Structure 1
């Protein structure tokens, strides 16, 4: 398979299907299709987002037009059995929680219902589940979802990435890192072909040896949380700043509001990666 060329902007799909998002599956599908029409053609998701409903929305939106998007998914985290049993009741529960304004509280408690599985068998099983929900035989990138440095260094999870690529289930593989220690471990692995990093980490490494290593290896970087880590900065300006970074390949914008997606997409206009300072 030919490796994908990632676009300047991507849509963060973490909130699709979550308890604190009142949007329906149809709303999410429409938002994805709008993003594609605007050139926001990388879709970033994970097995846990919306208990799989984020991937289901992407699969429905891309039916018959898979070629229009670069799909990135992640694994390593999973819900407890209790949370999995709640999924069929989600439509009813979301309606009740919305009336009581408790959706955010349920989402905030999610960490307590989470578990991790970094085994090769577990990661590949989750990838296969993602592919079923996405209605696709491959993803453009498969990433480990926020592992700590020790997990990366142990190697079994990285071995799952190698197998995902070897089997054709992923065109590229890599790691979504949360901190500098995780990034150091990711860069120590030759398997790492893609990085997803929060903006604070990107800003911290822009001028150091890590940034130089990323550029030298030609590793595409997906920037996330560019608004959260630029407090007080206008959203459009924050997106433009991330887009202008020589380290960033794709900047994620996350919203459930179509007009906000339009505005943020327009904030960089038709700038290409070659226009960056």
Structure 2
């Protein structure tokens, strides 16, 4: 089963976010990560998402091992735009045409493939007009290096300007029960322009599963720096998880109890139907069992009462989803 995400790009109804397959949330076993990738494709989760910055290229190199024998089974997405800054030890954003061309060449080499199915601008370089960046990306399509274009964390106005240069298949931004700011302007614009939506962190960076112990996060885990994970906010936000748990307790999938993760993903899929655009979440995991669990959400139907309860719970979320100015579209809307 596939769906038309946008610009006639057909993908599986659920994707797999690759970031967690390398050490971002803690140590990752490359053997287990590759096994999880293969299992995902085996069970029909063939839309695989990565980026050049994940593991500083190591994530793309890992996915190359999957592609070696299964390239024709995978809809491959990767990104450019977040660059390390040796001068500060931090990160910078680049969207100049020279960097676009440099980045795609490096990604194609690491992925050991001739073409990328969906190539995203990972973040907007506010120093460069988006028309200039997308124009350089469009050249990659003309050259056969990329099939479709995507944008991550753009505003409605920025999306409109980009579509004026080249068709955009998808917008990728954080979207979940506790991250709904994109519904105000970006999602309606995408629906109107025929652009699909790919929610990243659809499980709230693990929080909405009800299994995350925030106090146990490793010192280097970047979630510790996100405002809504701060001590005061996380206690208040636990109320959202309790509503998700209650809804999960009312549902079964193939005779088994539904899980909070499945409910959170099913809510997003229902939002796509309610708001009139294709929505393909890309939950990340290192474990094959979690792939199977997440996939169950595709067949889970939420009642109007359950959707209303989840909507109401979302209104009580405390804390921002970002701690960096201009890092997410909400800051520029």
TM-score of the pair, normalised by structure 2: 0.64
The aligned residue for residue 70 of structure 1 is 75
2:171 matches 1:195: yes
2:107 matches 1:130: yes
The correspondence for 1:237, drawn from 257, 263, 280, is 263
Alignment check: 8 A CA contact 2:60 2:111 kept: yes
The correspondence for 2:117, drawn from 108, 116, 140, is 140
Alignment check: 8 A CA contact 2:124 2:130 kept: no
Unaligned runs of at least 5 residues, structure 1 = 83-110, 272-276
Q: CA deviation at 1:3?
A: 4.7
Alignment of 1:160-199 (within 5 A): 160-177=136-153, 182-190=155-163, 191=166, 192-199=168-175
Q: CA deviation at 1:73?
A: 0.6
Aligned-partner SS, 2:292: helix
Alignment check: 8 A CA contact 1:10 1:250 kept: yes
TM-score of the pair, normalised by structure 1: 0.76
Q: CA deviation at 1:220?
A: 1.7
Q: CA deviation at 1:255?
A: 1.0
Alignment of 1:7-22 (within 5 A): 7-18=12-23, 20-22=25-27
2:42 matches 1:37: yes
2:76 matches 1:50: no
Aligned-partner SS, 1:18: coil
Aligned equivalents of 2:8, 2:117: Cα separation in 1: 8
Unaligned runs of at least 5 residues, structure 2 = 1-6, 209-239, 245-259, 302-306, 308-333
The correspondence for 1:227, drawn from 178, 188, 203, is 203
CA RMSD of superposed structures (Å):
2.8
Alignment check: 8 A CA contact 1:152 1:158 kept: no
Aligned-partner SS, 2:78: strand
Q: CA deviation at 1:20?
A: 4.7
User: Which has the larger displacement, 17-26 or 46-55?
Assistant: 17-26
Alignment check: 8 A CA contact 1:173 1:194 kept: yes
- Shift in alpha-carbon separation, 1:20–1:202, aligned structure 2, 3 A: closer
Alignment check: 8 A CA contact 2:156 2:190 kept: no
Alignment check: 8 A CA contact 1:45 1:73 kept: yes
Aligned equivalents of 1:19, 1:249: Cα separation in 2: 25
Aligned equivalents of 1:64, 1:227: Cα separation in 2: 30
User: Which has the larger displacement, 123-132 or 216-225?
Assistant: 216-225
The aligned residue for residue 100 of structure 1 is none
Q: CA deviation at 1:25?
A: 2.2
Alignment of 1:82-121 (within 5 A): 112-121=89-98
The aligned residue for residue 251 of structure 2 is none
Aligned equivalents of 1:81, 1:211: Cα separation in 2: 36
Aligned equivalents of 2:127, 2:201: Cα separation in 1: 23
The aligned residue for residue 225 of structure 2 is none
Aligned equivalents of 1:79, 1:209: Cα separation in 2: 30
Alignment check: 8 A CA contact 1:152 1:185 kept: no
Alignment check: 8 A CA contact 1:161 1:174 kept: no
